[in-house]
Amino acid sequence: MNVSMHAIRGFRMRRQHLIERAPAGTMLEAVEAVHGIQAQVNAHAIFAIAQRVDKLNVSEIDRALWTDQTLLKTWAMRGTVHWLPASEEPLFRSGLIPLRGPWLDRWFVREIESAADRQLLIDVVLDVLADGPLPRSEIAARAVPRIGDWAEPWLTDGWGGAYHTMCNYGLVVFGPTVNNAPTFARRDTYAHLPPIEPSSEAAFELIRRYLRSFGPATVQDATYWL
């Protein structure tokens, strides 16, 4: 079957609401059509959604993220920050862990050789966050005395540190910004999110959804997206 690049681009743009915007009030459906909006830079993510939804108000995004919790901010594909629909996040997490888990484990083990130290770091952070979201500085202030000074860089690193790994394993997500500082929250405090169970079938479904919006694609294309 021969398909021109012009037709491929048209298919992708139409599926992603870049030819005709989705109707006002359908933001979540538009984000689902793209299967996550990269949100390393907040302004870029807002722009990406605004191109896809008619008459979008930024307050709709904030409400979905921090009030309704129907949109989650977390690390996902390519190890980058994304806004994922809460309806898809469990599937994405279950599918990404088998695909990216070995890479995450190699990195975490290489940087913190002791399995006991790795588990202590995770356990203490989750305990500190039991009462609600906190910024990095506050998490470090409460956790370092219980873990040791070696943990401070892992808890204050603006590029991710321990939170990157914990997000990728479905333990924490981003919380609302406080005084221009991001916070982190325990994922299990979001009552509508089921526990994460790594699944090879979820990985297949991840690729199917990718193809619905970005196909036709090569194996290399899908790998790059992941």
Q: What is the pLDDT of residues 57-85, one digit of tens each?
A: 999 999 999 999 999 999 999 989 999 99
Contact call for residues 16 and 213 (beta carbons, < 8 A): yes
Q: Return d(Cα 50, Cα 47) in angstroms, integer.
A: 5
Q: What is the largest CA-CA distance in the chain?
A: 63
Q: Return d(Cα 168, Cα 97) in angstroms, integer.
A: 7
Distances (CA, A) of 177 to 42, 140, 182: 11, 17, 4
Q: Return d(Cα 211, Cα 177) in angstroms, integer.
A: 34
Q: 215 burial class (0-12, 13-18, 19+ CB within 10 angstroms)?
A: middle
Among 181-185, 191-195, 207-211, where is mean pLDDT lowest?
191-195
Distances (CA, A) of 148 to 41, 97, 110, 196: 32, 29, 19, 29
Q: Report the pLDDT value the prediction gives residue 125, as an integer from 0 to 100.
A: 98
Average pLDDT over residues 97-118: 90
Q: Return d(Cα 172, Cα 67) in angstroms, integer.
A: 17
Its pTM stands at 0.92
